[in-house]
Chains A and B, each alone.
Chain A
């Protein structure tokens, strides 16, 4: 694994540790749960990448000369 990636994963781990101690002022209750932002970040990325790859790409992909 390359160094920048190691740093990124390490930072994520450090943030999770911080998450235990901070006092959040959420609006809904569930957004105060431990690691909510982290999990939501991962879910967002998965939805985005998999959605684009499996829905948008096969359905709407055309040749570059499609409109010419």
Chain B
């Protein structure tokens, strides 16, 4: 116990040393961080650790039990794999963001109180937004901005819920909450934004496809699955989740079917898969919650693998739209094999990991006789072999010939994909490895003759029907178009609102900006100029230059945030913090 530290600490602190290490040492450092984290995690005994007294309340940084450990393990594994996948790009901002993001996700998973949970929750938004900004295109900047605004709004709802919850119950403990108070409902909705619930989901397919080729791999792992974890801990058995989850499993596939951007297809199918987990949480039995943990574990692996394979296509060809791709299997044979493994896993074919986890949730739904939810999950399962099962590998690697040529992805990317693909297959063949770490004892046999035959029947007949429709020309071809989603309301609706609201907002922004300039910026500048003169003479140039380069790099991107919205949010955060302080002291 004395030799271990909170899992979040290794990543979050470790991230800040990245810019100072150069060359080969940096690669080794980056790969070692998750390994050290994992060894640390293995040595933490189950129990409550690192309790810090803060204003008469206990902040708990180590709520370690079988539920949080499942997420802890897979988050470390995927942090290692995604860093290995991107080890050749030499982009400090991206490495830094990856560790900050993964570290804060670990912070959420192991936090035992609502206040530290909220702080890590917000830190995740910063890390993840930087992974989108790191693409350095105008579209990415705009997408990251929208992404941040949505999560800021979700964070505010969560904060409001936490404040109300604390003031009514007097407890900051993060445990089973249940939906019986307004505070709990707000917390529930705050979690739901990150979980990409229907209507609240549009940030996901809007932002993930704009991230860097490797950033999307990281993004696909943490935000939604952290939300699944907190829901599983605080709201298991909440009936409304069955309805929400069932809707999530069905509607995104329709978008995924027509979408042209292949990473957008994967984003929509991600929501669909998270829907399985949400249904499982809603059912809340031991089998269902085991299924949720298992599916989160497996889903993270095969989704990362699919995003890695599409990331390779984007990285090597610069293209990701289905209309511009095709026939890449002869240039990228290994990548296409890995993509097929990912597709087989998400479709839930026997001997791949999707099979052993998805069937648990479906069976739990059946056992509790939720017939509509069961039919929704079966529909989603059948559809998963079409979208993305057949669609993504077919359009990128086979299908019509395109004039795109490419070479196979760099070795480190292939190794990362190879390990992920192996894990997808291995867990599918030896499910006991995964079942042994699940929160409850597992009394479930995935490989029965009836399971395998009925599942194959469902999948293969759906595939055959799809092939038939393709041959007949009924299956719609991908078009160079986009499809409206609920982000329309804040993208187009927001513009309309701005037109009307511009006058008062502009007035406020102008005056606030001036005051800010006078009170903060100018004195700060004067002070820093003075300090700079001393520093420049006294301190060795090398260190300063390196720091400055990194800070300038970050600053250039952070500048995108220097707008009224985020400043207002900061103000709200301060007000919220004051309220919390008042509640504790008063």
Chain A residues at the B interface, C-beta cutoff of 8 Å: 5, 8-9, 11-12, 15-16, 18-19, 22-28, 31, 35-42, 44-53, 55-57, 60-64, 66-67
- 17 examples of A-B residue contacts, CB within 8 angstroms: A8-B464, A12-B460, A16-B457, A19-B457, A27-B366, A37-B461, A38-B457, A38-B461, A41-B457, A44-B383, A45-B382, A46-B465, A48-B383, A49-B474, A52-B258, A53-B474, A61-B483
Distance of A11 from chain B, by nearest CB (Å)? 6
Query: Which of A15, A36, A64 has a CB less than 8 Å from the CB of B481?
Result: A64
Residue of A nearest to B462 (CB): A41
**B465 contact from A28, A41, A56, A67, Cβ within 8 A:** A41
B135 at the interface (CB under 8 A from A): no
Question: Is the contact region of chain B dominated by helix, strand, or loop, or is it mixed?
Answer: helix
State the Cβ distance, B210 to closest chain A Cβ, in Å.
12
Asked if B459 and A49 sit within 8 Å, CB to CB, the answer is no
**Contact among B379, B450, B491 for A22, CB-based, below 8 A:** B450
- B453 touches which one: A9, A15, A63, A64 (CB < 8 A)? A15
* A9 to B254 CA separation, bound complex (whole angstroms): 25
Chain B residue nearest to A42 (CB atoms) is B465
Main secondary structure of the interface of A (DSSP, over half): helix
Q: Which of B429-483 contact A (CB under 8 A)?
A: 449-450, 453-467, 469, 471, 474-476, 479-483
* CB contacts between A and B, total, < 8 Å: 142
Choose one: A28, A37, A44, A63; the contact of B371 (CB below 8 Å).
A28
**Residue contact A49 to B458, C-beta cutoff 8 Å:** no
Q: A44-B382, A44-B462 are in contact. Are A37 and B454 (CB under 8 A)?
A: yes
Contact A15 B457 (CB under 8 A): yes
Contact B454–A24 (Cβ < 8 Å): yes
Closest to A63 in B: B481
Interface residue B369 (Cβ < 8 Å from any Cβ of A): yes
CA distance A42 to B464 in the complex (A): 8
Partner of B466, one of A45, A63, A67: A45
B184 on the interface (CB 8 Å rule)?
A: no
B374 and A28 contact, CB distance less than 8 A? yes
Using A15-B456, A42-B461 as known contacts, say yes or no to A27 and B374 having CB atoms under 8 A apart: yes
Across-interface contacts of A16 in B (CB, < 8 A): 457
- Contact yes or no, B466 A19, CB < 8 A: no
How far in angstroms is the closest Cβ of chain B from A56? 5
Give the docked Cα–Cα distance between A51 and B252 (Å): 12
B383: chain A residues within 8 A (beta carbon): 44-45, 48
Would you call B453 and A56 a contact (CB within 8 A)?
no
Does chain A have a CB within 8 A of B257? yes
Chain B's interface size range is 35 or more
CB of B197 within 8 Å of the partner chain: no
Contact present for A62 and B482 (CB under 8 Å): yes
CB contacts (< 8 Å) of A44 on chain B: these are 378-379, 382-383, 458, 462
B248 at the interface (CB under 8 A from A): no
Q: What 1/0 mask marks residues of chain B from 488 to 519 whose CB sits below 8 Å from any chain A CB?
A: 00011000000000000000000000000000
Are the C-beta atoms of B462 and A64 separated by less than 8 Å?
no
Which B residues touch A36, using CB under 8 A? 454
User: Once the chains are docked, how many angstroms separate the CA of A12 from the CA of B457?
Assistant: 7
Cα of A9 to Cα of B262 in the assembled complex, Å: 28
Residues of B within 8 A of A26 (CB): 366
Interface string of B358-386 (1 = CB under 8 A from A): 00000100110101001000110011001
B138 nearest in chain A by CB position: A68
Q: Which residues of A contact B386 (CB under 8 A)?
A: 45, 48-49
CB distance from B569 to the nearest CB of A (A): 23
Question: Which residues of the other chain, B, contact A49 by a CB distance below 8 angstroms?
Answer: 257, 386, 466, 469, 474-476
Cβ contacts under 8 Å, A18 to chain B: 453
* Bound: A62/B484 CA distance, A: 7
Which chain B residues in 248-265 approach chain A with CB under 8 Å?
253-255, 257-258
User: Which chain B residue shows the least CB distance to A39?
Assistant: B461
Give 9 closest A-B pairs by Cβ, nearest first: A27-B366, A41-B461, A44-B382, A41-B462, A45-B465, A37-B457, A37-B458, A52-B257, A60-B484
Chain A residues, CB < 8 A from B367: 27
Contacts of B254 in A (CB 8 A): 48, 51-52, 55-56
Contact of B449 among A11, A22, A38, A51 (CB under 8 A): A22
B464 near A9 with CB under 8 A, answer yes
Q: Smallest Cβ distance from A55 to chain B, in angstroms?
A: 8
User: By CB atoms of chain B within 10 A, which of A41, A55, A67 has the most?
Assistant: A41
Q: Which residues of A contact B461 (CB under 8 A)?
A: 12, 15, 37-39, 41-42, 45
Bound Cα distance from A61 to B484, whole angstroms: 7
Q: Given contact pairs A15-B461, A49-B475, enumerate 7 new A-B contacts (beta carbons under 8 Å).
A: A15-B456, A16-B457, A27-B374, A37-B461, A44-B382, A60-B485, A63-B481
- A61 to B491 CA separation, bound complex (whole angstroms): 16
Q: Closest CB-CB distance, B380 to chain A, in whole Å?
A: 8
Nearest-Cβ distance from residue A44 to partner chain B, whole angstroms:
4
Q: In the bound complex, do residue B450 and residue A56 qualify as a contact, i.e. CB atoms below 8 Å apart?
A: no
A28→B365 CA distance, assembly (Å) = 11
Bound CA–CA A48/B465 (angstroms): 11
For A31, the closest partner residue in chain B by CB is B366
**Which A residues are CB-close (under 8 A) to B454?**
19, 22, 24, 36-37
Residues of A within 8 A of B387 (CB): 48
